[in-house]
Chains A and B, each alone.
Chain A
Amino acid sequence: MTTFNASHHDQLHRALVDRIAGHLRPRRSLWPVRRRLALWLLLEIAVLLRTVTETRGNWAARFASIPYTFEILFFAAAGLILAAMALRAAIPGREARPWQTVLAIVLAISGIALLFVTPMRTDIPLSQFISVGVVCVFFTCSKAALPLIALWWAVRRGAPGNGRAAGAMVGSAAMLFSFAIMRIDCPLDEPLHLITWHLGPVIAVTVLSAVAGALWLRFPLRRHAVSY
C-alpha cells in the first residue's frame, strides 16, 4: 500500500485540470425532469389516441365498470411514476426515493389484483388461447416500443449510477403504460389471458431492459465511450 503524497497529488491535480479545461466545450444542461416527463407522457397519449381511434367495438362503455377503470388508472400511474424515477435516476444526486418505488409497486399490485374481479375461465381451447395471446404480446410490445426507445434515450443522455435499476425502470414504465393501453384495445377481460399474454411481456421486457441497462446505461462504465 502506498502512502499519500500531497505534492505528487497537487501535480496530478494540476495536470488533470489543464487537460479538462483544455478540452472544455459548451454543453447545455438537460431539460428538467418535469419537462422531459411531460413530453414522454404526450408520446404515450399519442399512442393511446391512435389505439382508441383504431379500436373496434364500444371501448368507452367498458369504463362504466369501476374496477376496470381503476385498473387502467393504476397501471398508467405506475408507468408514469417509474418513468419519472428513470429520468431522475439519470441525474446524480436526484435518484428516486424509496417511497416512490413502494408507491409504483403498490399501484401495479393493486392493478393486478383488480384483474381477478372477472372470474377465471379454464375451458378455452389451448390453440385459441395461444393464437389470441400471441397477437396481444405483439401489440403490447409494439405499443411500448416508441416510448421505451424515447425513455431509454433520455436516460442515456444522463449519468445513471445504477444502470440495472435504470434499465428496469425504463422497461417497466413503458410496458406498464402499454399494458394500460392494451386493456382498452383488447376486448378480453379473462384474467389468465391478461396475466399470461399482457403481464408476461411486461415482466420479460423489464428483465431484458434491466440486463441491457447494466451493460449500456451505467454511467462510470461507459465513460470511455464518451469523447470530448
Chain B
Amino acid sequence: MKPTDDSERSDRSRRRALLMQRLQAGDSDACRELLDDIGPAVTGFLRRRIADSGELEDVYQEVFMALFEARQTYEPGRPLEPWLFAIARNVAADHLRRHWTRASWQELAADPPDRPDLSLDESPGAAPDLAEALEKLPLNQREAFSMLKLEGLSLEAAAARSGVSVGAVKVRAHRAYKALRKLFGGA
C-alpha cells in the first residue's frame, strides 16, 4: 500500500471523527456532511452481506437510525470507523437473524416435498464453488477473508473496519483459509 493512501485514509478518519463530535453537539451541517461521507462505505459494507437490494435499503436505513440513536456512545478522540462498522455489523446481523428465522418458519409452513430434491450434486467428491464455501464459514471468518482476499484491503484497514485488532483479523483469516482448504478437499 502506498504511503499516500495511508495518509489520505488517516486524514479522512480524523475529519470524520471531528464531524462526529460536531454531530454530537447538534450541528446539522456536520451531520449531513458526515452521513454523505460514510454513506458509500456503509453501502459497500452492507452489499457484502445482503444480496437483495430491497432488503439492503431497509438495513441501510436501520443502520443510519441506529447511528443516530447511539451517537452518545461515540467517544470523542477515537477513530470513528470501528464504532461505525460495529453498529452496521450489529444491525446487519440482527437483520440476517430475523431473515433466517422468517425463512425457517416459511420453510416449515410449506408443504413437505414428496421426494428429496436430487438436483444438487451433493456427492462427497463434489467441490463447492467459492460463494457456497464462504456461506459455510462463520460470519467473522467470512468477513476477514472477503476483506483481505476479495477486496484486497490491508490488515490494518480490515481491522479498523471490523472493529477488532490486526491480530484478530489474522487469526480469523487463517481459520477461514484452513476451513476453505478443507472444503475444497486440500490437506
Contacts and interface: CB of A to CB of B under 8 A. Distances in A.
A29 B62 CA distance: 21
Nearest to A14: B36
A24 B47 contact: no
B90 A92 contact: yes
Interface string A21-49: 11111111110100000000000000000
Given A4-B47, A17-B36, A29-B73, A223 B66 contact: yes
Given A5-B53, A220-B91, A223-B66, A91 B73 contact: yes
B58 to A, nearest CB: 10
Interface stretch (A110-118, A135-143, A153-161): A153-161
B106 interface: no
A25 to B, nearest CB: 6
The interface residues of chain B, by DSSP majority, are classed as: helix
B70 A159 contact: yes
B11 interface: no
Interface residues of B, number: 46
B52 to A, nearest CB: 5
A17 B32 contact: yes
Given A24-B28, A93-B163, A2 B53 contact: yes
Contacts of A226: 69
Interface string B82-94: 1111110111011
Contact of A29 (B60, B64, B65, B75): B75
A21 B73 CA distance: 18
Interface in B148-187: 163
The interface residues of chain A, by DSSP majority, are classed as: loop
A221 interface: yes
A91 B75 CA distance: 9
A3 B51 CA distance: 8
A219 B24 CA distance: 19
Contacts of A91: 73, 75, 83
Interface range on chain A: under 10, 10 to 19, 20 to 34, or 35 or more? 35 or more
A13 interface: yes
A126 to B, nearest CB: 46
Contact of B73 (A24, A26, A92): A92
B15 to A, nearest CB: 17
Contacts of A2: 52-54
B56 to A, nearest CB: 7
Interface string A69-93: 0000000000000000000001111
A1 B87 contact: no
B45 interface: no
Nearest to A224: B65
A1 to B, nearest CB: 5
Contact of B31 (A3, A21, A219): A21
B32 A157 contact: no
A100 to B, nearest CB: 13
Interface of A: 1-5, 8-9, 12-13, 16-17, 20-30, 32, 90-95, 157-159, 161, 218-221, 223, 226
9 contacts: A1-B51, A5-B53, A13-B60, A28-B24, A30-B75, A93-B87, A94-B75, A159-B73, A219-B90
The 4 A-B residue pairs whose C-beta atoms are closest, nearest first, are A26-B26, A93-B82, A92-B86, A93-B86
